[in-house]
Amino acid sequence: MARSLISLPYDLAIKAGLQMLEANLLPDFLLRRAARMLLSMRLRVSYKPTAAEQLLDLMEFAHSLKEFPISIHQDEANSQHYEVPAEFYKLVLGKHLKYSSSYFSKPTSRLDESEQAMLELYCERAQLVDGQKVLDLGCGWGSFSLYAAKKFPQSRITGLSNSNTQKDFIEEECRKQGITNVNIITSDINVFEAGTTYDRIVSIEMFEHMKNYKELLKKISSWMKPDALLFVHIFVHKVFAYHFQDSGDDDWMARSFFTGGTMPADGLLLYFQDDLSILNHWRVSGNHYSRTSEEWLKNMDRNLEPIKIIFAKTYGENEIRKWIAYWRTFFLAVSELFGYNNGEEWMVSHYLFKRK
């Protein structure tokens, strides 16, 4: 009873805040302050008193993932992100339509060149050369598939997506740009079987939507030639892992944008080396993702009028204000997440695996 009385003011404040958010009445400085407050709470809950307890917590999380299917709630993830029309992303993202962290190699770098810098980094770290068969696992709007196809014209690029909207968009881009070495497949990763093997498999911010990494990596290994490599880009926390769970009003991010998602720890994948073994491991400061999301927010604010038209068709006339607030808040929250503690808490990790 006492606990309920203590939590009541907090719950009422959250409900009132959500109502104001949906009415687009909260200024950015309050949204940023609220995001930092929630992140601080996450850190207090997730950091353990001793190193031994911290490791035990991660090990228990890793073991628990083996009870899940490979992925859950894919339909919700689609509706939240990937079935929103490409026209929206064209107005918000850079020219490569890279819906993931870019790499700002210089303080003066712009979004377009930073998207390209990260795509180049993938090619280098995945050891891509012309003439390979490449699987882009979770290909998004095709940023990597299209880039690799043009950079390596003798390679065959296969992209896997669970979104028909994305498949249609990438295929249309291939027609416009005269690209003939890309094939896009739409399937659920839980049931997808490649039916062939690849020289390289690249996955960019797909593993965050997965659960059972043991079964996922086992499946991926069966699609790899003996000397093939798997390159993975995922966002992580440096120490701990957690699920995006919708268990209350303050779990707005999980409910609206990451249903069924996972925040891995930087070291989490290293506990799933039954079928693959790690060759290399890099960390990219969260500041790069923070800057990326700030650029998305600026682009959204510059293009609000055409975005309102898109949202009217996507969500309905009565939902325009709410979803403008939601998407702006999402970009703000992503920036605050990865910029927290100067990019040293949440960040991007890259991994290179080989077959055993």
Give the DSSP letter string of 147-185.
Answer: HHHHHSTTSEEEEEES-HHHHHHHHHHHHHHT--SEEEE
Residue 260: the pLDDT is 72
Neighbours of 247 (CB within 10 A): 9
pLDDT in tens, 91-111: 999 999 999 999 999 989 999
Average per-residue pLDDT for the chain: 89
pLDDT of 239 above 90: yes
pLDDT in tens, 258-279: 667 899 999 999 999 999 999 9
Residue 290: the pLDDT is 98
pTM, two decimals, is 0.90
327 neighbors 296 (Cβ within 8 angstroms): no
Strands 262-263 and 242-243: antiparallel
pLDDT in tens, 20-58: 665 566 789 998 998 999 899 999 999 999 999 999 999
pLDDT of 340 above 80: yes
pLDDT of 248 above 60: no
Distances in Å between the Cα of 168 and the Cα atoms of 162, 164, 172, 183, 348 are 12, 6, 6, 11, 29
Torsion region of 342: left, alpha or beta (phi above 0 gives left; psi -120 to 50 gives alpha): left
In this prediction, what percent of the chain has a pLDDT beyond 90?
Answer: 78
Residue 261: the pLDDT is 85
Residue 26: the pLDDT is 77
Residue 23: the pLDDT is 59
Residue 244: the pLDDT is 84
Which residues are CB-contacts of 337 (< 8 A; sequence separation ≥ 6)?
35, 39, 286, 289, 290, 346
Which residues are CB-contacts of 266 (< 8 A; sequence separation ≥ 6)?
236, 237, 238, 239, 283, 347, 349
Q: What domains lie within the chain, and their CATH numbers? A: 21-355 (3.40.50.150)
* More confident of the two residues 230 and 7: 230
Q: Read off the pLDDT of each residue in 146-158 and give the average, rounded to a whole number.
A: 98
What are the backbone angles phi and psi of residue 354, rounded to the nearest 5°? Answer: -125, 165
Helix (H) or strand (E) holding 121: helix 111-125
